[in-house]
Structure 1
Amino acid sequence: MTSSLKKSWSQGVPETLNYRLGERPLHEYLIQNAIDQPRQTAYNFYGNEISWSQLVDQTLRLAKFLQNKGVAKGDKIALYMQNCPQYLLGHYAIQMLGATVVPLNPMYKASELEYFINEAEIMAIISGDELYDQIGAIKDKTPSLQFFMITNYADFLSEKLTLPLPEDLQGEKKAMDDAYDVLNIVDVTAPLEETEAIDVWEDVGLMVFTSGTTGRPKAAMLTFGNALFKTAATAHGYQHQQEDRTLAVAPLCHIAGMVMGVNLPVYSSNSCILLLRFDPVTAIQAIERYRVNKLYTVATMNAAILNEAQSGDHDLSCLETNFATSFGLAVDESLADAWGKLTDGCLLFEASYGLSETHTCDTMMPMDKIKYGTCGIPTYQTDIRIVDPETGKDLPPGRQGEIAVKNPGVFKGYLNRPEATAATLRQGWVFTGDIGTLDDEGYLTFNGRVKEMIKASGYSVFPEDVEALMSDHEAIAQVAAIGVPDSKRGESVKAFIVLKPEYVEKVTAEAIIAWSKEHMAAYKYPREVVFVEELPATSSGKVLRRLLKE
């Protein structure tokens, strides 16, 4: 099914995708914004109104510092921060040199960082100063790391505060002898004179870690063109304009949060209110104060705002469009109706279907023909097939099978993983490992996952990753992780553990969970542990998680 099926498209949405400034990397759009509207507010961070001119100037200064440190085309630089202006500076400064951005979730702990840094051979990291201890713990185990930059989020606040500050913005600034300070860098470094020449459709500007179809997380290589295409398709499909005001509360380190919070404001040249993280009270105040009219959320955020709004008199009538993702809670008609009543008519609907390997947003919802329970129709230049997993043959509308996607957002492959690449990427098609159906009008319904990936609180959790991390525990001989339903998180991790003989009856499940909590991101550690004598496995030793689920 292809996006040429125009009868389902929204009124007013152009049928052909024309890039606003042509096929150029997004950092060139950023620079052009500073030329065309230098004084317009680009991002507002708790009252600090950062203009396009200021944003570009500071980004060029950070890029020059990186260049002075030897960063060049193809080098991998990690961002390990909460949402903040420094994240934007880092993202675009790295790409101005033709280097590759590697987002790392700020919830990662030291042992997780060690794996990711070594897997991608990361050269340098820009980190929030509260996270530096995690880096310090693994410096001796990550030979590719050459230098570190840290930042205090409060460095990019102004004296005029307009929204409640989270605790992270109230802590004292840390000084590290072996790390460079981002604020000092942009204060003393001259701007970059010339950005690197980019082959938009070939050069890799982003690597995001994902499971693919099997194994521990792998680095999916995405080009500058992949990012441009998906950002432009989203902007034009949802009719984003320069005069729009958006709110960025989803994590910028996630591919969806990156499209909505890092790329979309730059492409559309619209003002964006940036929050460190989601908080319903602060989100409501930001929407009211700055008259946000277009919003991206996870469905649980909408539920939290609805709950909070019951306790006060709020005016959210400025909201016009809210595209959301069903993580932990479905974006259904009942949620949409409640949201419409609160906001005096704001449309709430499923944003899209997508995955890291396609830079997400492979579908879009026609705003005047919403079908709840579906993910919308294929976006621009996108073909979606439903394939029989056993025969490989295409299935007709209404038949359930594996979702396969082809469009200009498709990744180049997994870094140093040719076999995994070949399993997922076939003749330009990404075989997603997800199960779905297409109806006669081209609407895609997502039915479940072939993969054993666990979706906890909207985060992707890979069983092999959990198992590898838990294997560091001195008492664990074998471990297998699965996802189990969780009313709050969608899914949570359950671990089946074979203890070493000397630890049987000497270690408790609670102790294992407590240890895991210290060594893993909050969404990843197991909420339930079961001790077993052995794990079900094939004759070759591969654990049969399917039997554990049963």
Structure 2
Amino acid sequence: MDKIPYFQEEKPLHEYLRQHARAQPGKPAYVWYGASLTYRQVDDMSDRFAARLAGLGVKKGDRVVLFLNNCPQYVIAHFGIQKLGAIVSPCSPLFKKHELAYQVADVGAEVIVAADTLYPVVQEVMDKTPLKHVFLTSYGDLLPQEATIDVPPELRSPKNRVADTMDLLEALEGMSAPPQPELSMDDVVLMTYTSGTTGMPKGAMLTYRNALFKTASATFAAGVDDTTVTLAIAPLYHIAGMLMGLNVTIYSGATAILMHRFDPRSVLQAIDRYKVSHWYSIAPMNVAAMQVPDAKSFDLHSLKVNPCTSFGITLTQPLAEQWRDFTGGCQTFEAAYGLSETHTCDTYTPRDAVKWGTQGRPMPGVECRIVDQDSRAVLPVGQMGEITLRSPGNFKGYWNKPEATAATLRDGWVHTGDMGKLDEDGYLTFSGRFKEMIKVSGYSVFPEEVETILIKHPAVRQAAVIGIPDPAKGEVIKAFIVLKPEAADTSVEDIIQWSREQMSPYKVPKSVEFRAEIPATGTGKVLRRLLKD
């Protein structure tokens, strides 16, 4: 098919929310540790937040920053902003003051919605940014009196009230219908920050059309419909978590069991209690869930489909088979390849034609080419080069960065800065970032390539590698290893000797450092720059 047909007509996702609120008003859109938020409630509360923002002078095209982790208030704020034609700019709740100040100032936001526990960071950036209005919310505000699954202890923290700020939920009181600005599918509605192919983080400008196209794609790939119960754990502030946990839910009319953060026992409780059928996960989550001491006491047979991303731990066929046996039949597979500039999910793995070691094949409506990075000539099947993409999901450019936009967006194609190859069946193998490529005696080494091998060592739980300077070879490989608990007596020499037997000499780590953990983003993506620092 040329493109995934939409469940309804082409319109912004918040209009899908309105439709579901009319058609199935009492159906839970989100369940938050036992408290249900229906489609009518999500629509009404986001309407009232849009009206409150309009009262502050927020209008179409203005940017509003979200600085909080998963909670129902995130959903309310996200769609309230977009109903006005304003632009959501998510910030990681892991941000420190310099990171928050940079993004808020760069995007020019006057309004921020933050968790009350993060207010000290907001306070530190107020005089360094255009911020004028602060909405705070407590993660515990919408918790039920009696939870149905384990609640993270931090959600029980006392509410933090701060003078000269507005409480998000209290700010909805007394609000009526918001303005109805004229909107185009090509209006920018999301600005998610990414390092792109080079330099400081940049705001990738994404439209209503980008979001709808990729949401329909992800819904198709996972087989979600209005009978589905999903588990939403991946961070909503991250493009993949936003797509799967927020957009797919509202688009399809499904019910999402929303969790503040990953906890392996709570995952098993949620699947059992709510008969979850679909879960987008990250491979270490699956491994952790299987290690829960009383895991066999939970009924997991409802879980049928589990798109999974390899971060830190590679999703292999043996791991997938172990998960299938553990759950009683759930199929897991590599979820997709994608990036912020394309609203992610550019490829998918057909559930009846899984190819291990690949990221699947292009979504209907997505064109993928492998090109020579210098000549830009299209390369033949099987040859490694730069991944380029063209689809209705491609972004409009970087906010206030015309040169960076011109370097990435060329003739309608996004030049990703990623290395990969296509096989004869059109399946994509992602091999790493050009900018993270390590040159060892003239040989090109991609960190993911070495990490994928190291993780096969029986003692290794997680692995990350970087290049470090070497006077003779230019660069050599340094590996950071997290050992399995039962393999604590493994030595550096054990790892290096095993590597010599498993990989080309220039890929073998010159040095190994054991760590208790490897720095990663909220979604589990390894932060190699911190290892370099």
Q: TM-score range by the shorter chain?
A: 0.7 to 0.9
Which amino acid in 2 is paired with 1:486?
A: F
Which amino acid in 2 is paired with 1:177?
A: A
Shift of 1:393: 0.8
Deviation per CA, 1:232-277: give whole Å up to 9, x if none. Answer: 1111233211001000000000000000011000000000000000
Separation in 1, partners of 2:307, 2:85 = 32
Counterparts of 1:50-449 in structure 2 under 5 Å? 50-142=37-129, 144-186=130-172, 188-200=173-185, 202-308=186-292, 312-449=296-433
Partner of 1:535: none
Which amino acid in 1 is paired with 2:142?
A: F
Shift of 1:314: 2.3
Shift of 1:72: 0.2
Assess, with a 3 A threshold, how the Cα gap between structure 1 residues 484 and 156 changes in structure 2: closer, same or farther.
farther
Separation in 2, partners of 1:301, 1:418 = 39
For 1:252, what is the secondary structure of its paired residue? Answer: coil
Separation in 2, partners of 1:355, 1:192 = 35
Shift of 1:452: 3.4
Separation in 2, partners of 1:64, 1:282 = 36
Question: What TM-score, normalized by structure 2, do the two folds share?
Answer: 0.83
Shift of 1:391: 2.1
Checking the alignment, whether the CA contact within 8 Å between 1:328 and 1:488 is kept in structure 2 is no
Deviation per CA, 1:379-437: give whole Å up to 9, x if none. Answer: 02111001112321111111111100000000000011111001100011000010111
Separation in 2, partners of 1:415, 1:61 = 28
Checking the alignment, whether the CA contact within 8 Å between 1:73 and 1:98 is kept in structure 2 is yes
How many residues were matched structurally? Answer: 462
Separation in 1, partners of 2:222, 2:131 = 40
Shift of 1:195: 3.0
Deviation per CA, 1:458-482: give whole Å up to 9, x if none. Answer: xxx9x9xxxxxxxxxxxxxxxxxx9
Shift of 1:162: 0.7
Separation in 2, partners of 1:353, 1:292 = 24
Which amino acid in 1 is paired with 2:103?
A: F
Deviation per CA, 1:6-39: give whole Å up to 9, x if none. Answer: xxxxxxxxx6521111110001111111000000
Shift of 1:311: 5.2
Shift of 1:313: 2.3
Assess, with a 3 A threshold, how the Cα gap between structure 1 residues 169 and 525 changes in structure 2: closer, same or farther.
farther
Deviation per CA, 1:433-455: give whole Å up to 9, x if none. Answer: 10111011111011111123999
Question: What TM-score, normalized by structure 1, do the two folds share?
Answer: 0.80
For 2:29, what is the secondary structure of its paired residue? Answer: strand
Partner of 1:486: 480
The two structures, once aligned, show a CA RMSD in angstroms of 2.4
Assess, with a 3 A threshold, how the Cα gap between structure 1 residues 372 and 521 changes in structure 2: closer, same or farther.
closer
**Runs (5+) with no aligned partner, structure 1:** 5-14, 464-481, 490-516, 531-550
For 2:269, what is the secondary structure of its paired residue? Answer: helix
Checking the alignment, whether the CA contact within 8 Å between 2:51 and 2:179 is kept in structure 1 is no
Checking the alignment, whether the CA contact within 8 Å between 2:78 and 2:88 is kept in structure 1 is yes
Shift of 1:526: 7.2
Checking the alignment, whether the CA contact within 8 Å between 1:324 and 1:349 is kept in structure 2 is yes
For 1:348, what is the secondary structure of its paired residue? Answer: strand
Percent identity between the two aligned chains: 43
For 1:278, what is the secondary structure of its paired residue? Answer: coil
Separation in 2, partners of 1:331, 1:305 = 14
Separation in 2, partners of 1:31, 1:341 = 40
Partner of 1:33: 20
Checking the alignment, whether the CA contact within 8 Å between 1:62 and 1:189 is kept in structure 2 is no
Separation in 2, partners of 1:249, 1:328 = 17
Shift of 1:58: 1.0
Separation in 1, partners of 2:51, 2:422 = 48
Checking the alignment, whether the CA contact within 8 Å between 1:62 and 1:191 is kept in structure 2 is no
Checking the alignment, whether the CA contact within 8 Å between 2:116 and 2:137 is kept in structure 1 is yes
Assess, with a 3 A threshold, how the Cα gap between structure 1 residues 273 and 521 changes in structure 2: closer, same or farther.
closer
Q: Which moved more, 1:70-79 or 1:161-170?
A: 161-170
Which amino acid in 1 is paired with 2:254?
A: N
Assess, with a 3 A threshold, how the Cα gap between structure 1 residues 484 and 423 changes in structure 2: closer, same or farther.
farther
Partner of 2:511: none
Assess, with a 3 A threshold, how the Cα gap between structure 1 residues 126 and 382 changes in structure 2: closer, same or farther.
same
Are 1:18 and 2:30 counterparts? no
Assess, with a 3 A threshold, how the Cα gap between structure 1 residues 155 and 338 changes in structure 2: closer, same or farther.
same
Separation in 1, partners of 2:5, 2:382 = 32
Shift of 1:52: 0.6
Separation in 2, partners of 1:176, 1:390 = 54
Checking the alignment, whether the CA contact within 8 Å between 2:136 and 2:168 is kept in structure 1 is yes
Which amino acid in 2 is paired with 1:93?
A: G
For 2:224, what is the secondary structure of its paired residue? Answer: coil
Separation in 1, partners of 2:407, 2:303 = 43
Which amino acid in 2 is paired with 1:367?
A: R
Which amino acid in 2 is paired with 1:148?
A: V
Q: Which moved more, 1:152-161 or 1:404-413?
A: 152-161
Deviation per CA, 1:98-152: give whole Å up to 9, x if none. Answer: 000000000001111111111111121000000000010111111x212100000
Separation in 2, partners of 1:70, 1:36 = 32
Which amino acid in 1 is paired with 2:219?
A: A
For 1:441, what is the secondary structure of its paired residue? Answer: coil
Shift of 1:524: 5.6
Separation in 2, partners of 1:451, 1:251 = 26
Checking the alignment, whether the CA contact within 8 Å between 2:48 and 2:178 is kept in structure 1 is no
Partner of 1:534: none
Separation in 2, partners of 1:445, 1:334 = 19
Assess, with a 3 A threshold, how the Cα gap between structure 1 residues 309 and 372 changes in structure 2: closer, same or farther.
farther
Shift of 1:161: 1.2
Assess, with a 3 A threshold, how the Cα gap between structure 1 residues 271 and 420 changes in structure 2: closer, same or farther.
same
Assess, with a 3 A threshold, how the Cα gap between structure 1 residues 244 and 411 changes in structure 2: closer, same or farther.
same
Separation in 1, partners of 2:414, 2:187 = 19
Counterparts of 1:39-50 in structure 2 under 5 Å? 39-50=26-37
